[in-house]
């Protein structure tokens, strides 16, 4: 095993213990299996006072073997309409972008990944992003356009996704 792998393994164990000892309200995260610390299943509750409220959104966090030097990747498994989430579920947020200067000069280096970031901070940042989209830097251009131009339709779609995430099927009025 490489030194990076051992460092990543120890760090992931430490972060898992921290999440177990100090759970974060509305967020659950743990490895998919005891044999693989590099793939985590996460559940984020829809933030209060947003169209996502009450939703249960499942995602995967995939860690590189050189974690924490490089950021993990995050992908929602539960469908979620959001300007900063690609249609395939991949999350686009500064904290998950490689460290250093942004080649497009949109993000400052301190907003991007750094080895001092943690799983807890990633998940809190994603929860905050869900509550407060940035339509000026969209991953899903269609969602950003809908969010800007037709908020009622956007909200209706999200609320249906919330019901779907809960397994609730509404019976149409006769």
Reduced to 3 states (helix: H, G, I; strand: E, B; else coil), residue 42 is strand
The Cα–Cα gap between 35 and 45 comes to 27
Q: Is the peptide bond before 145 cis (omega within 30 degrees of 0)?
A: no
Catalytic site residue 92? Answer: yes
Catalytic residue among 92, 93, 96, 146: 92
DSSP string, 15-27: HHHHHHHS--TTE
Q: DSSP per residue over 143-161, as a string?
A: HHHHHHH-HHHHHHHHHHH
Cα 24–chain centre separation: 14
CA distance 88 to 104: 23
Looking only at the bridges linking them, the beta strands covering 56-62 and 36-45 are: antiparallel
Residue 144: both structure tokens together: 């950003």
Could you give the 3-state DSSP secondary structure of residue 75?
strand
Residues assigned a catalytic role:
92
């Amino acid at each position: 095993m490489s030194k990076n792998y051992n460092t990543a393994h120890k760090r992931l164990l430490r972060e898992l213990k921290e999440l177990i000892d100090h759970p974060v309200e509305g967020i659950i995260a743990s490895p998919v299996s005891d044999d693989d610390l590099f793939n985590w299943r996460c559940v984020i509750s829809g933030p209060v006072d947003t169209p996502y409220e009450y939703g249960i959104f499942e995602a995967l966090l995939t860690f590189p073997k050189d974690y924490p030097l490089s950021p993990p990747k995050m992908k929602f498994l539960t469908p979620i309409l959001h300007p900063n989430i690609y249609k395939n579920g991949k999350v686009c947020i500064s904290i998950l972008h490689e460290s250093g200067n942004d080649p497009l000069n949109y993000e400052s280096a301190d907003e991007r990944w750094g080895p001092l970031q943690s799983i807890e901070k990633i998940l809190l940042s994603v929860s905050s992003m869900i509550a407060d989209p940035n339509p000026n830097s969209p991953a899903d251009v269609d969602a950003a356009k809908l969010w800007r131009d037709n908020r009622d339709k956007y909200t209706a779609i999200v609320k249906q996704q919330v019901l779907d995430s809960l397994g609730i099927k509404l019976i149409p009025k006769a």
